[in-house]
Amino acid sequence: MLATATLGGEVAAMVDCHDTFDPASAKKAGADLGKLLWVQCGHRLETALRATDMILHSGGFGLILLDLCDVPAQAFQRVPISHWYRFRNAVEHTPSILLILARQSVTRSCATRQFELHQQTIQWQGKAPFQTIQHLAAQASSRKPMGVSPVMLQAVAEVS
């Protein structure tokens, strides 16, 4: 998504709650890092929510990605639903897209669209030193399927 947005001339923002974003992988996937604002939030959900709010209200971003995949489920119970409505209202009548990545639904009724993605198999690519990892993954998958938590993509507002 970042590659598509930035190569299409859009400025994008990546709000990274747990500092897991890898710019090298994004660049390899085709993203123009010169058109990307990367906000590292140091494992603080409140910081990620405040940063997202500031970005949404500043305008000028075609895509805002909020990565909450590593946030524990119980942390979302403390987030008032008004936060999600505020985000939705900020992008509702703009050409911007707010995409929230999480392992469970967090926006409740505020999301315009929700998509659940499941990974069926794990495939490792590359050469040594990754061969050991490939071997371990093959052993684990031969014993029983490796469970991968689904990732919820929540589009908070649709572009009309």
For position 70, what pLDDT does the model report? Answer: 92
pLDDT tens, residue by residue, 14-48: 999 999 999 999 999 999 999 999 999 999 999 99
For position 23, what pLDDT does the model report? Answer: 95
What is the fold of 2-120+148-155? Answer: Rossmann fold (3.40.50)
pLDDT tens, residue by residue, 102-151: 988 898 788 888 888 776 665 655 555 554 444 444 444 333 333 334 44
Is the pLDDT at 5 greater than 60? The verdict is: yes
Q: Which amino acid is at 101?
A: L
Neighbours of 19 (CB within 10 A): 13
pLDDT tens, residue by residue, 52-68: 999 999 999 999 999 99
For position 127, what pLDDT does the model report? Answer: 59
Q: Model pTM? A: 0.75
Task: Reply yes or no: is the peptide bond before residue 129 cis, omega within 30 of 0.
Answer: yes
